[in-house]
Amino acid sequence: MDDDEPLSDENEFGIDPEQLLQSLLSLSGDDELRLDVVEKLAQRMGLPPEKADLLMRATIEYLKNQSGSDEKA
């Protein structure tokens, strides 16, 4: 996907970017749940938890920028 290409309702993977953003924002708002998700992401991707947390935050920022959302992570 080109960085300048706006997000559509669903992409070739069947993921709704707005729903993904809302889910990630919900997770990031609950510290205990966020830490649990970051730990699982780190284990599955073979990353240190700090990198998995950075990946999650970067994904939220990317989706916010693409969608024009005013919500804060």
Q: Please write the tens of the pLDDT for every residue from 22-72.
A: 999 998 899 999 999 999 999 999 999 999 999 999 999 999 998 865 555
Residue 21 three-state SS: helix
What secondary structure letter does DSSP report for 12? T
Whether the full predicted model's pTM is greater than 0.95, yes or no, is no
Token pair in block for residue 49: 């938890």
